[in-house]
Amino acid sequence: MVLTVQVLGTLYGLLAVVFGAFGAHALKKRFTEEQLKSFETGVKYQMYHAMLLLVIGFNFNLETGLEKSMGYCFLIGTFLFSFSIYGLCLSASKGRKLAFLGPVTPLGGLLLVVGWGLLLYSFIGDFV
């Protein structure tokens, strides 16, 4: 699990840089201002969580149920949150908004919140 978190964290970081550059240059002319801001939000959250995945990958064994759950929440939540935003923005710019992706974004966000809650619990759980 540690290697998976580190590899996917690195991949998410790499893709965040690529998507950020793509959004800033290639999509600037195709997207509305609102779409560009949404796309940038996806990129930011992807990069934040890419760095977080690397931090937890190097600082946790990710062997306990709590740690594995935390890792999966961040991995899946980042994918669902950011990539659904990309899909919504790209499809809307072509006039064919993929409406089914709308509920996916908050589900990804919920998984990110749960991941952060599990991380908090891992720190304070012994004191409670």
Q: What is the pLDDT along the chain (128 residues), one digit of tens a residue?
A: 999 999 999 999 999 999 999 988 899 889 999 999 999 999 999 999 999 999 999 999 999 999 999 999 999 999 999 999 999 999 999 989 899 999 999 999 999 999 999 999 999 987 87
Is the distance from CB of 52 to CB of 74 less than 8 angstroms? yes
Single pTM value for the model: 0.93
Q: How many CB atoms lie within 10 A of CB 79?
A: 17
Amino acid making up residue 58: F
Amino acid making up residue 115: G
pLDDT, residue 83, reads 98
